[in-house]
Amino acid sequence: MKYAIKRFTLIEVVVALGIMLVIAAMIGLVLTTSYRAWERVNRMDALFRQKQNIDRIVNTAFKNAIPFSWKNDNLKEELVFKGESSMLLLAYLHRIGASDRSGIRFVQLRLEDNKLIAEYRDTPILPWREPASSEVTKEVIVSQVKEISFLYADILPENNSVQLMDSWDNKKTYIPRGIQITIEFEDGSKESWFRRTAASGYMQFLGKKPQNVIR
């Protein structure tokens, strides 16, 4: 018994391959576009969450920053505050989560390996001493950071206007009235966060100038 073998002509094969290629290209294009869009959404989401993280730190640490002093190595009281262009160390009031915890917390913010790092401690981080890394709790606030910078606001006594400086004179016996952090991300975007420190306002500040230090 003989079977008739149906073969495709070259034209049919070429046409079928052509159709298959067009469909594969369309599917590939759609999937690539979808994947890129999804990646873009994820990137936006990650950046947005990082900005919300910074909101959290400025609304807790900056807004509740208080003047706090401690005896230095010469037994002279010195303010536990260090404000430089690229780092900040301050004391701030925070909620007490446990009975063995203090209501004052100390935090140091700085850039490390393209990450904005917050180092916390319940006992003073002294600006004149380097704390051992095991003594602090580290938190990565933001990653993919190119640069950070701080600005410190003071009030000029002559006209009560605000003066912004990129570092804080450690001879001052009070802390800045406001602190701003500016973050430049690796993608080129830049954002600033300015907050008044605790109880600071127009002609208002915590303590008495020039000795407005909690003792």
Partner 1 sequence: MRKSPYFTLIEVAIAIAVLAMGVVAAMSMISAAKKRMMKAERGWHEQHMLTQAVEYLMLAPPKSSVPLEIFPYPGFSVNYEYSLPEELPNKFPATVGNWTLVSLKVHIISNEQRNIGPVVLNRIVKNGDI
12, burial (CB in 10 Å: exposed 0-12, middle 13-18, buried 19+): exposed
Binding residues for partner 1, rule CB under 8 A, total 38
Please report whether residue 40 would count as binding partner 1 according to CB under 8 A: yes
Which of 8, 13, 45, 96 binds partner 1 (CB under 8 A)? It is 45
Please state the closest distance from residue 1 (CB atom) to partner 1, in A: 17
Please report whether residue 181 would count as binding partner 1 according to CB under 8 A: no
Question: Pick from 188, 11, 191, 175: which is nearest to 88 by CA?
Answer: 175
Which of 70, 143, 173, 193 binds partner 1 (CB under 8 A)? It is 193
- Interface of this chain with partner 1, residues 87 to 146, rule: CB under 8 A: none
If the CB atoms of residues 116 and 155 are measured against partner 1, the closer one turns out to be: 155
Please state the closest distance from residue 92 (CB atom) to partner 1, in A: 16
Interface stretch with partner 1, choices 81-89, 119-127, 129-137, 154-162 (CB under 8 A) = 154-162
Phi, psi of 78 (to 5 degrees): -135, 145
Contact 61, 90 (CB under 8 A): yes
If the CB atoms of residues 116 and 125 are measured against partner 1, the closer one turns out to be: 116
If the CB atoms of residues 40 and 101 are measured against partner 1, the closer one turns out to be: 40
Q: What are the distances in angstroms from CA 165 to CA 86, 157, 201?
A: 12, 15, 17
- Indicate the length of the chain as a whole number: 215
Q: Which residue is associated with the tokens 């206007």?
A: 161
Bond before 131 cis per omega within 30 degrees: no
Q: Give 36's contacts (C-beta < 8 A, 6+ positions apart).
A: none
Please report whether residue 196 would count as binding partner 1 according to CB under 8 A: yes
H/E stretch holding 33: helix 10-57
End-to-end CA distance of the chain: 110
If the CB atoms of residues 5 and 132 are measured against partner 1, the closer one turns out to be: 5
Interface stretch with partner 1, choices 65-73, 89-97, 99-107, 173-181 (CB under 8 A) = 173-181
CA dihedral 64, 139, 118, 143 (to 10 degrees): -120
Binding site for partner 1 (CB under 8 A): 23, 27, 30-31, 33-34, 37-38, 40-41, 44-45, 48, 51-52, 55, 151, 153, 155, 159-162, 164, 177-178, 180, 190-196, 200-203
